[in-house]
């Protein structure tokens, strides 16, 4: 018997003598190869006779240990991401403040161009930090935070999102058909973030020679927002992990971001009680966000 298990085993044996059965009692015994095996015992006393069975649970113990270790590592990793994302904001904010000051200065054409590109890079870094923070909150249990507006004007917000993406990608043609009846109960910035992520995904993976379309409609029960693009269809293997974090379809070597866009979009949809559906074939790929209006 393993020395560390002696005291508990003797106590269990005394209970057995006193007439108390031992159910699922676990201890270790040395194997002939020198290692220890875990046994799970069931022992029943009856008229001075002890009926005992033992099952080797060494593999179960090893699997549980591995699982506990994996879960602990995952939690530590996600806590690290949360702390990192938080601490990166301060130095990045200082850089942004410096850029804002320099924008007031008289600069050469080359200097103004460098400053403009620096501002774009800073914004991308802030966006990535926001994605990391959303990911960490989701993984650590608090989920994506929402600030619900009871009567939100979502139509105007969607037009602004489309305009921002269009300015960032002048090489792509965009179109929209937004017919939302009345106001919507939702977190407008979060829904805008969801749509922005889906549009960015369409730009990255779609056919740049074909237009990207934003459709939005509603009835009394549901709100639907769809992003449609042409291009290669999504394969079954890619579809399986489409909304998983840090998973990206490597279509373009220069692809930017952390692979969190679709994951965060799906978390925002879930927080609103909705979902994102995907249809993809040789003609088009369509992501549809659908949520109840109530």
Instruction: Report the first-to-last Cα separation within the chain, whole angstroms.
Output: 63
The pLDDT score that the predictor gives to residue 164 is: 87
What is Dmax (Cα atoms) for the chain?
Answer: 100
pLDDT at 255: 47
CATH class (in words) of the domain with range 149-292 = alpha beta
33-39 long-range contacts (CB < 8 A, ≥24 apart) are 36/2
Least confident range of 30-39, 46-55, 140-149, 161-170:
140-149
Candidate from 25-29, 114-118, 201-205, 252-256 with smallest mean pLDDT: 252-256
Specify the pLDDT at position 285.
Answer: 95
Pairwise pLDDT comparison (276 vs 65), residue with the higher score:
276
**The domain made up of 62-139 is a member of CATH 1.10.287.130:** yes
pLDDT at residue 214 above 70? yes
Q: What is the mean pLDDT of residues 128-150?
A: 74
At residue 138, does pLDDT exceed 60? yes
0.75 exceeded by pTM = no
Give the model's pLDDT for residue 174. Answer: 95
Q: In this structure, what token pair is assigned to residue 60?
A: 């179960």
């Amino acid at each position: 018997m393993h020395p560390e298990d002696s005291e508990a085993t003797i106590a269990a044996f005394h209970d057995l003598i006193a007439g108390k059965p031992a159910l699922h009692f676990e201890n270790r015994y040395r194997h002939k190869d020198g290692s220890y095996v875990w046994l799970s015992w069931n022992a029943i006393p009856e008229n001075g006779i002890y009926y005992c069975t033992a099952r080797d649970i060494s593999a179960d113990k090893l699997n549980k240990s591995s699982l506990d270790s994996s879960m602990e590592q995952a939690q530590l990793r996600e806590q690290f991401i949360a702390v990192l994302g938080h601490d990166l904001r301060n130095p990045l904010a200082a850089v942004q403040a410096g850029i804002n000051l320099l924008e007031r200065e008289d600069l050469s054409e080359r200097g103004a161009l460098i400053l403009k590109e620096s501002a774009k890079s800073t914004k991308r870094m802030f966006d990535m930090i926001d994605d990391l923070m959303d990911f960490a909150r989701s993984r650590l249990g608090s989920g994506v935070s929402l600030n619900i507006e009871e009567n939100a004007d979502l139509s105007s917000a969607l037009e602004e999102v489309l305009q921002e993406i269009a300015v960032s990608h002048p090489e792509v043609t965009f179109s929209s058909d937004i017919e939302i009846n009345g106001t919507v109960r939702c977190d407008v910035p979060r829904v805008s973030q969801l749509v922005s992520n889906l549009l960015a995904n369409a730009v990255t993976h779609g056919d740049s020679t074909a237009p990207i379309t934003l459709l939005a409609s509603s009835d009394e029960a549901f709100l639907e927002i769809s992003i449609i693009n042409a291009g290669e269809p999504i394969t079954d293997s890619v579809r399986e992990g489409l909304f998983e974090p840090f998973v990206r379809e490597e279509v373009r070597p220069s692809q930017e971001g952390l692979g969190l866009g679709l994951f965060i979009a799906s978390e925002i949809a879930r927080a609103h009680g909705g979902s994102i559906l995907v249809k993809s074939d040789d003609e088009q790929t369509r992501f549809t966000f659908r949520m109840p209006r109530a």
